[in-house]
Structure 1
Amino acid sequence: MSGDLWSYVFVLVAGVLATDVWRWLGVLAGNRLREDSEAMVWVRAVATALVAAVIARLVLNPTGTLAELPAWMRAGAALAGFAVYILSGQRIFFGIGVSVGLIAAALHWL
């Protein structure tokens, strides 16, 4: 193997080792917790807050191509996607599809 390929293999192995240990520990600990326990409610709240923070960052302070769109377009696409998500019976595929479609259309026409 060439030197470049070895660096990719190293990053892949190091990434798997660094994250899979925590995933397996989470699976082992999660199997012992009741779904309605305070610990699981806290975990869900933290996970939801992290997703909300990432979405807020993408809307309010984006980088790359997304930064070319005005803030009102990014916010509008996020709100439209959320509305479709709710109206479709909480099917996340449709909400994401609408948001991505609106952003792609806006980038195409700008």
Structure 2
Amino acid sequence: MSFDGVWPYIYIAIAGWLATDLWRWAGVLVGNRIDENSEVLNWVRAVATALVAAVIAKLIFFPTGTLETSPLWLRLGAVLFGALCFFAGGRFRQILGIAAAIAFLAAGLAITGA
């Protein structure tokens, strides 16, 4: 089989789908049997929250790529502004918080020339 043209991308898409979809279905089947207030689910939520917090902290304090050129105060300010907009956002909390943080960061980068 020749892997020229579009075939490598099709292969990656199918292999990626198979590898992740199996676990998604397993989660659906097992998740239906877990009590929403169980200790197992509380632990899963805590681990998921900790992972998200760790990724955000890494992006703020040890950024790579274009974000690396921005000053620390600007990254912290974008997170704070995004959080404030999130809590004030009402029905569109997540979208508003993310958009506000990105806009703050973009405006700060444009102003500072970083």
Match of 1:107 in 2: 109
SS in 2 for 1:46: helix
Q: CA deviation at 1:95?
A: 1.0
Cα deviations across residues 53-103 of structure 1 (Å, max 9, x unaligned)? 111111111111111100111011011111221233481111111101011
Match of 1:80 in 2: 81
Q: Percent identity?
A: 50
* Residue 21 (1) aligns with residue 25 (2): no
Cα deviations across residues 21-47 of structure 1 (Å, max 9, x unaligned)? 111111111111111111111111111
Match of 2:34 in 1: 33
SS in 1 for 2:37: coil
Distance across 2 between alignment mates of 1:106 and 1:65: 13
In structure 2, the gaps of 5 or more residues are: none
Match of 1:62 in 2: 63
Normalising by structure 2, report the TM-score. Answer: 0.88
In structure 1, the gaps of 5 or more residues are: none
* Residue 94 (1) aligns with residue 96 (2): yes
Distance across 2 between alignment mates of 1:24 and 1:4: 32
Q: CA deviation at 1:2?
A: 7.0
SS in 1 for 2:9: helix
Normalising by structure 1, report the TM-score. Answer: 0.91
Distance across 2 between alignment mates of 1:108 and 1:45: 37
Match of 2:7 in 1: 6
